[in-house]
Amino acid sequence: MKHRHHLPDSNQDQAPVDNWKVLKNLLPYLSEFKTRVLLALLFLALAKLANIGLPFLIKSIVDQLSDSNSSISLESVSGSALWVLAPIGLVLVYGSLRLANVLFGEIRDTLFGRVTERAMRRIGYRVFQHLHKLDLDFHLNRKTGGLSRDIERGTSGINFLMRFLVFNIVPTIFEILIVIVIFFTQYGWKFATVTIVSILCYVLFSVKMTEWRNRFLREANKADTDSNSQAIDSLLNYETVKYYTNETFEANKYDKNLATWERARRKNRLSLFALNGGQALIISVSMTAMMMLATIGVQNGEMSIGDFVLVNAFMMQLFIPLNFLGFVYREIKMSLINIEQMFKLLAIEPNISDCNDAKILDVKEGAISFENVSFAYNDKRKIIENLSLSINKGETLAVVGKSGSGKSTLVKLLFRFYDPNQGSIKIDQQSINLVTQDSLRKAIGIVPQDTVLFNTTIIENVRYGRPDASDDDVLEAIDMAHLSEFIQELPDGLQTMVGERGLKLSGGEKQRVAIARTILKRPAIYVFDEATSSLDSHAEKSILKAINEISSDATSLVIAHRLSTVVNADKIIVLDKGTIIESGNHEQLIEAQGAYYELWMSQQKDQTQ
């Protein structure tokens, strides 16, 4: 029995994130540019050292200016000239350090930017590729809008995490430690203690408040994802919405999600006010305490005016990056959640996978056999029951029956979108479970009942059957599918855009594009799943002629509701509740006057009427 995939739900309350596991998963993607990473870290250190040196220069300038003003006399003009030149030199050094700080930061960003962008590209590609490897069951249960948001947030989260973790959190911690050491060695334990207590209070308050605020952000994300999923689902089914005049109903559903998003954003905004207010209080108290200590030190003659300025400058430098701590911490936490969400997608194992020693399918004759195959989507819905059939080389087997009898399920099993619960399916005596899915599906061409086209031109949609095909091959396939006359009537011809999911074309036109696409693929085995269901009688005859031409030397499986399309099949089987109740060619089944005869007479009656 096939189990359903458990899709990672970005909308539910998030379990605690394993931060180290997320970072560990990211490391392989960062190791591609080891030299760049090391150079970026070097320039990060240089920029931070230049930043730490600035307060010392300000102190020296202030002290020298103070001393020069108090010691200049009329008798020492030459000495005063030296006092004037010394501060000017320090100001020039200060300007050079300020420039170096900015340049080192820019070089650091430039070096590390390439690393981050490549990591985002590699992971994005891997997730996209992995999603296409997952089986049909996963994609039937997915929410496209929410899934696209998870991927978008995950890749954006990598960029944010790398930039702020490496360039904000780590350098700030580095600078705090150095400043505490400077205060302790230069000015005593009181200054160091006030700094430590201030920063601890600030960090703890910011972290606790941010954790409290995260639930409002999650609510906003949930509403954002829900509204996005609903909007995409509604737009993809635009025609259905119009048929049933449910525009207002869809808009109200969308507005309901937006209202939830609005409430969550309002709570988020109010909580941000509390966070910013608390941070401002801690900064004000800390700065006041440090300035009070420095003022007392100056008054007692233990510190100079330059020392007073230095203390103020260091505290300002520390609290400027810390001022963004709440925002950075929250975003890093959300980035970790979003990245983990994306890695959870990568961790999903497909129900259908190649075996370890899977071989390439070697198709010589294209003979197909179903041997005692049974299949059910779940315990309450059995679809195929102990079914056996065979199609020899070059034969056409037609499968007919009422809706829900299991006809299309045979196609899904042949393509190995699902594995049978019991029994086996073989092509040229090779079990499809033991060959690669890629080689299996390359050997089979299908014209599906519901043809979905890409939002590009007609010629590119046909070329999708064999992307490396030449224009001549594509035009030949278009001609064989009797599309040429229709295309010539279009103003843009082959360059006509078909719209999203091919909505600009009729059902019959889309099916002819699908037929041309399959003709271009030139597979060994053809599957036609209600391939002419959207065609009128005249077009059906033309298409059937084309189908017979391209599949004359190939094995063909035809799923048909309209029996007139399969009267020339080598063999016809009638399915009922997943079991073969009749088989033979058209004449034999008509003579038997069984289920096939009843279907035939019913359709002939409908056609006559």
Instruction: State the average pLDDT for the chain.
Output: 79
Q: Distance (Å, rounded) from C-alpha 364 to C-alpha 429?
A: 11
Q: What pTM value is reported for the model?
A: 0.64
∠328-332-333 over CA atoms, to 5°? 120
pLDDT at 507 over 50: yes
As a whole number, mean pLDDT of residues 317-331 equals: 73
As a whole number, mean pLDDT of residues 433-450 equals: 87
More confident residue, 502 or 353: 353
Contacts made by residues 545-554, CB under 8 angstroms, sequence distance 24+? 546/480, 546/481, 546/482, 546/515, 546/519, 547/447, 547/515, 549/480, 550/480, 550/519, 550/522, 550/526, 551/396, 551/526, 552/394, 553/394, 554/366, 554/394, 554/523, 554/524, 554/525, 554/526
pLDDT tens digits along 259-271: 888 888 888 788 8
Which helix (H) or strand (E) segment is 384 a member of?
strand 381-391
Confidence of residue 606 (pLDDT cuts 50, 70, 90): low
Instruction: Read off φ and ψ for residue 379, nearest 5 degrees.
Output: -60, -25
∠266-272-278 over CA atoms, to 5°? 145
Q: Distance (Å, rounded) from C-alpha 572 to C-alpha 588?
A: 10
Q: Give every CB contact of residue 19 below 8 A, 6+ residues apart in sequence.
A: 336
- Measured CA to CA in angstroms, residue 533 lies from 58, 450, 527, 559, 595 at distances of 83, 9, 14, 10, 21
pLDDT at 84 over 50: no
Q: Name the percent of the chain lying above pLDDT 70.
A: 86
- Measured CA to CA in angstroms, residue 462 lies from 90, 287, 473, 513, 517 at distances of 72, 70, 10, 6, 4
Contact 584, 397 (CB under 8 A): no
pLDDT of residue 13: 43
Instruction: Read off φ and ψ for residue 339, nearest 5 degrees.
Output: -65, -40
pLDDT of residue 608: 65
pLDDT at 422 over 80: yes
Exposure class string for 31-47: b at 16+ Cβ within 10 A, else e: eebeebbeebbebbebb
Confidence of residue 430 (pLDDT cuts 50, 70, 90): very high
- Sheet (strand 396-401) strand order: 444-447, 525-529, 555-559, 396-401, 571-576, 579-584
Q: Closest Cα partner for 383 from 179, 578, 579?
A: 578
pLDDT of residue 425: 92
More confident residue, 115 or 12: 115
3-state secondary structure of 449: coil
pLDDT of residue 394: 85
- Measured CA to CA in angstroms, residue 546 lies from 65, 449, 542 at distances of 96, 17, 6
pLDDT tens digits along 206-234: 888 877 877 777 777 777 877 887 888 88
pLDDT tens digits along 143-161: 665 677 777 777 777 877 7
DSSP letter (8 states) at residue 565? G
Strands 396-401 and 555-559 turn out to be parallel
Q: Distance (Å, rounded) from C-alpha 438 to C-alpha 352?
A: 12
Q: Which of 28-32, 81-85, 355-359, 418-422 has the lowest mean pLDDT?
A: 81-85
Q: Distance (Å, rounded) from C-alpha 317 to C-alpha 52?
A: 9
Look up residue 231 and give its amino acid.
Answer: A
pLDDT tens digits along 258-305: 888 888 888 878 888 888 888 888 888 888 888 888 888 888 888 888
More confident residue, 482 or 593: 593
At 47, list the tokens.
């920029």
As a whole number, mean pLDDT of residues 14-41 equals: 72
Q: Name the percent of the chain lying above pLDDT 90.
A: 4
Q: What is the DSSP secondary-structure string of 501-526?
A: GGTTS-HHHHHHHHHHHHHHH--SEE
Q: Distance (Å, rounded) from C-alpha 576 to C-alpha 384?
A: 9
Q: Distance (Å, rounded) from C-alpha 445 to C-alpha 211?
A: 54
As a whole number, mean pLDDT of residues 183-190 equals: 84
As a whole number, mean pLDDT of residues 327-352 equals: 77
pLDDT of residue 51: 79
Q: Give every CB contact of residue 120 below 8 A, 6+ residues apart in sequence.
A: 155, 158, 159
pLDDT of residue 234: 84
At 514, list the tokens.
């699908």
pLDDT of residue 1: 42
pLDDT of residue 446: 86
Map 456-487 to HEC letters. Answer: CEHHHHHHCCCCCCCHHHHHHHHHHCCCHHHH
pLDDT tens digits along 528-574: 887 666 566 666 676 677 677 777 778 889 888 888 778 888 899 99
pLDDT at 81 over 50: no
pLDDT tens digits along 115-136: 888 888 888 888 888 787 776 7
DSSP letter (8 states) at residue 551? T
Q: Distance (Å, rounded) from C-alpha 427 to C-alpha 390?
A: 10
pLDDT at 67 over 80: no
pLDDT at 85 over 80: no
Q: Closest Cα partner for 421 from 431, 413, 411, 430?
A: 413
Helical residues (DSSP H) of 33-143, grouped into ranges: 34-71, 77-133, 136-141
- Measured CA to CA in angstroms, residue 304 lies from 195, 294, 552 at distances of 20, 9, 100
pLDDT of residue 77: 40
Q: Distance (Å, rounded) from C-alpha 597 to C-alpha 562?
A: 13
As a whole number, mean pLDDT of residues 18-40 equals: 75
pLDDT at 172 over 60: yes
Q: Which domains does the chain have, with CATH numbers?
A: 19-347 (1.20.1560.10), 353-443+534-609 (3.40.50.300), 452-522 (3.40.50.300)
Q: Extract the runs of DSSP E, i.e. beta strands, from 294-367.
A: none
Look up residue 437 and give its amino acid.
Answer: Q
